[in-house]
Amino acid sequence: MDLAIPSPSLEDYLYCSLRIAESEVFVGDIEPSRFIQNLDGRIEISVSDDPLPIGLFSAMVVDVESAINEGVHPFDVFDSDSKTAPYYRALFRAQSWSGADFRKPVLQAIYGDDEPWRPNLLILDRVTVFPEHRGRRAGLVAIRGLIERFRMGIGLIVMTPFPLQFEAEPHTPGGWEERSRLKLDEFGVGYDKALAKLRSYYATLGFRTIPRTRLMGLAADHKLPTLD
């Protein structure tokens, strides 16, 4: 009797699941970081009814509007986490009345002539797909799923495309284990070509490069393309 797990089909990758890690919320928290929701977890597909991990994701929701309502300056919220801090400086006009008005190049690149005030962000920090599952658009499917699930109340979805093979070498055993698992050292193209390929990849979902930044953004009300 053959008990081998069957190989996933292309259709399996179109219906992946996002398994979000459990998190604890301290109700008495008064730190500005309380307006940042971390979303970390695994990308999975079902093969013979068993979940098969095919990658990892990390994202953050920054609730700028609630911070302003509670009298907390948006800069303090973003500055409370090293991952979110660069986004405030790249996206917002700090001298605006609220401290949460998008810069003109951001508005023009993402919204055109429209200038909505929807400062909440969904930051797509990291999406990785294990080597044996690459080439099946699983990363795009996962990103699309994250956007659909968490864009309510969001104005802008943003990311910093960066080829992971060019990250600084890790300083922890866990970092080396991840790098080995992802086989990052096997990528052979140069940085510029790898970055251009990534940007083209994300543009498939409608992401646009934001001028004078390293970021790509997408209006939360943008109609997402199908990927089948």
For the whole model, what pTM was predicted? 0.87
* CB burial of residue 146 (10 Å; 0-12, 13-18, 19+): buried
Q: Dump pLDDT digits (tens) for 4-14.
A: 556 777 778 88
- Distance in angstroms between the alpha carbons of the first and the last residue of the chain: 34
Q: Dump pLDDT digits (tens) for 8-67.
A: 777 788 888 899 988 888 888 899 999 999 999 999 988 777 788 899 999 999 999 999
Per-residue confidence at 1, pLDDT binned at 50, 70, 90?
very low
**Residue 158: Cβ within 10 Å count:** 23
Q: Give the integer Cα–Cα distance in Å for 218 and 205.
A: 9
Q: Give the integer Cα–Cα distance in Å for 58 and 18.
A: 11
Q: Which residues contact 9 (CB under 8 A, 6 or more apart)?
A: none
Q: What percent of the chain has pLDDT over 90?
A: 54
pLDDT, mean over the chain: 86
**Residue 140: Cβ within 10 Å count:** 18
Both tokens assigned to 27: 């109700």
Please give the DSSP secondary-structure letter assigned to residue 171: S
For residue 160, how far is the Cα from the chain centroid?
8
Determine contact, residues 56/41, Cβ cutoff 8 Å: yes
